[in-house]
Amino acid sequence: MTSVRIVLTTEAVSAEHVRGTLCVVIDVLRASTTIVTALANGCPGVIPVETPEEARALARKRNCLLGGEREGLKPEGFDFGNSPLEYASDRIDGRAIAFTTTNGTRAIRACAESDMLVIASFLNGREVIKLLKEESRNILIVCAGTRGKATMEDTACGGMLLEGIRAGETPEAEEALALWNAHKNDLPSMMKNLSEHGRTLVELGFERDIEFAAHLNSYDIIAIRDGDEIVRKLR
């Protein structure tokens, strides 16, 4: 029988957790939202790396665009920050993107030894739930959190997935389900007013990103790891 677990921060992930599993990585504000949006807008692959220096080297080697953030802002010389609203199809122009963020790409790297890795957000939750319902492997939902602390938006998104697949018996799962049910009817307000990370983004001028990230099921795509890239899963 498939087991389903959820962890609320990247720091709670260990190699033994991820081996042989399907890992679902969530970083609603904003890496997973941005990755899903970029793929929906024609990016052939997002290549997650840990540092801006790695991203720059990769871009030179593979002629990639550069995307990501540090302290919420676009690093010097990057083509994109971490705002999903920047990733329009005419700017992507069919090119891959080397991508680095403070929390999200670290969570992806933490799941390197998983059998399969999927990126989830509110934007593509319905499609991720469909995939998980068909899965026979053990499932680990990884909420990226922020600098070692759980975030309300990632935890609530995990709760959305758990509700969809009718799973969740651990204390972490109960917390995730409770957050989702408490805030699912007004996700923007929760993220802008109650989430510490969300309030920081508002202060930085990214309130529109939060409103965009709160849209449910905008995209019918699965973002899945293929080699060192995150790509759109073909049906």
pLDDT of 1 strictly over 60? no
Architecture of domain 4-232: Alpha-Beta Complex (3.90)
Question: Residue 2: pLDDT above 90?
Answer: no
**Distance in angstroms (rounded) separating the CA atoms of residues 234 and 97:** 19
Q: What are the E-state strand segments in the chain? A: 4-7, 21-26, 46-48, 65-68, 97-100, 116-120, 138-143, 223-226, 229-232
pLDDT digits (tens, 9 = 90+) for 127-182: 999 999 999 999 999 999 998 999 999 999 999 999 999 998 899 999 999 999 99
Span 51-84, pLDDT tens digits: 999 999 999 999 999 999 999 999 999 999 999 9
DSSP code at position 74: P
Q: Rounded to whole angstroms, how far apart are CA atoms 208 and 170?
A: 34
What single-letter amino acid sits at 11? E
pLDDT value of residue 235 = 66
Q: What percent of the chain has pLDDT over 70?
A: 99
pLDDT of residue 30: 98
Res. 39: pLDDT tops 90: yes
214 within 8 A of 224, measured Cβ to Cβ: no
pTM attached to this predicted model: 0.97
pLDDT of the residue at 234: 80
So what's the pLDDT on residue 168? 83
Backbone angles phi, psi at 141, to 5 degrees: -95, 120
Measure the CA–CA gap between 188 and 183, rounded to whole angstroms.
9
C-alpha distances (whole Å) from 62 to each of 45, 78, 97 are: 12, 15, 10
Dihedral (CA of 104, 117, 223, 2) sign: negative
